[in-house]
Amino acid sequence: MTIDTNAGGPQHPEPSLRRDEAAAGDARSAPTGTGSRFTRLLGLALIIGGAAVAWLAFVATPPDVVQGESVRLLYVHVPSVSVAYMACMLTTVASAVWLRRRTEWWDLVASSSAEVGAVFTAVTLLSGMVWGQATWGTPWEWDARLTSTLFLFLLLLGYLGLRGATEDRTARGRRSAIVGLLLVPNVIVVNQSVNWWRSLHQDATLFRTDGDFRIEGLQLFTWVFATVVAIGFFVWLLVHRFRVGWLADRAEDRAIDEALAVRRAEGGTGGAP
């Protein structure tokens, strides 16, 4: 443990977990990446779980009575859409909490969840298009769920764009919290209005078969298990993304401190620049 010699600025108390890790034989004094023992264990479990999902989806489960082989696509599509909506909800909730508490923690939770959510929304849209092409014969239908998922993706891109562009951290927190708070309401408004619009056209009901087929037994288990693995994967990504965001803020603080120190050394007096 080399940190203990660095007694000059112990601003952050050393967490107890590190000691356990050191005792367990982990010789490194400080992490060199965003992984920790928790995420490594979770990652290992997820690799095993992911392999199990693939085996269940491709080998163990029979083709669906109505859907045929294309049901195997839904074992990735449906869990990813669940996680995408969950992430979007978490962004809105964390933004709301940030507006009350104003802590970096909630700001980072909201933004990390938004980025991970955008990835899962992209996966949802792409795998959904493949499934649509396979079963409907068209990758896109103007139905409320598809359209509002696309708008969710666009809204998340706007949120991330705003965050990426705002350099001042206080302003970044305030502005992105407003956009994050309005994220779920906006998706609901889009969903409702498209729903209303499409329900005026009778042809929209042509594709209502996708919710009709019954799932049971091993298919249902595969579905539930795949969703659990996807949620675990979301947690893993969220923790890593949170740490990347935290590190980015620390690195920025440091860059500013260094620039100030250089300025002060040049100016001599240490007055305001």
Partner 1 sequence: MTMWGYVALGWAITAVVLVSYVAALLWRGRRLIEQVPEGERRWL
Partner 2 sequence: MLADAWLIAAKDLRLEWRSRVTLAQIAPFAVLVLVLFGFALDPDRGLLAAATPGLYWVAVLFASVLAVQRAFAVESTESSRDILLLSGVVPSGVFLGKALAISVQLLALEVLLLGGVAVFYGATLRGWLLLAVTVLSATAGIAAAGSLYGVLATGLRVRDTLVPLLMLPVLAPVLLGATRAFEAALEDTPADGWPWAGLLVLFALAYLGAGVAAYGSLLEET
Phi-psi region of 217 (alpha: psi -120 to 50; beta: other; left: phi over 0): left
Measured from the CB atom, is 167 or 266 closer to partner 2? 167
Nearest Cα neighbor of 110 from 125, 99, 121 is: 99
Interface map 209-248 toward partner 1 (x if CB under 8 A): ------------------------x---x--xx-xx--xx
| Residues at the site binding partner 2, with contacts judged by CB under 8 A | 99, 151, 154-155, 157-158, 161-162, 165-166, 168, 170-171, 174-175, 177-179, 182, 185-186, 189-190, 193-194, 196-197
Question: What separation in angstroms does the CA of 101 have from each of 105, 113, 116, 168, 170?
Answer: 10, 18, 23, 19, 13
Phi-psi region of 137 (alpha: psi -120 to 50; beta: other; left: phi over 0): left
- Selection from partner 1, partner 2, none that 99 binds (CB < 5 to 8 A by kind) is partner 2
Greatest extent of the chain over all pairs of C-alpha atoms, in Å: 81
Nearest Cα neighbor of 146 from 126, 161, 160 is: 126
Task: Answer whether 149's CB lies under 8 Å from 84's CB.
Answer: yes
> Residue type at 26?
D
Q: How far is the CB of 33 from partner 1 (least distance, A)?
A: 5
CA 235/CA 43 separation, integer angstroms: 10
Q: How far is the CB of 240 from partner 1 (least distance, A)?
A: 5
Q: How far is the CB of 35 from partner 2 (least distance, A)?
A: 33
Measured from the CB atom, is 14 or 171 closer to partner 1? 14
Measured from the CB atom, is 38 or 197 closer to partner 2? 197
Measured from the CB atom, is 111 or 219 closer to partner 2? 111
Burial (CB count <10 Å: 0-12, 13-18, 19+), residue 50: middle
**Contact region for partner 1 (CB under 8 A) — 128-136, 156-164, 203-211, 215-223?**
128-136
Q: Is 20 in the site for partner 1 (CB under 8 A)?
A: no
CA 78/CA 238 separation, integer angstroms: 19
Which residues of the shown chain bind partner 1 in the complex (CB under 8 A)? 2-3, 6, 9-12, 14-15, 17-18, 29-36, 38, 54, 68-70, 72-73, 76-77, 80, 119, 122-123, 126-127, 130-131, 133-134, 233, 237, 240-241, 243-244, 247-248, 250-251, 254-255
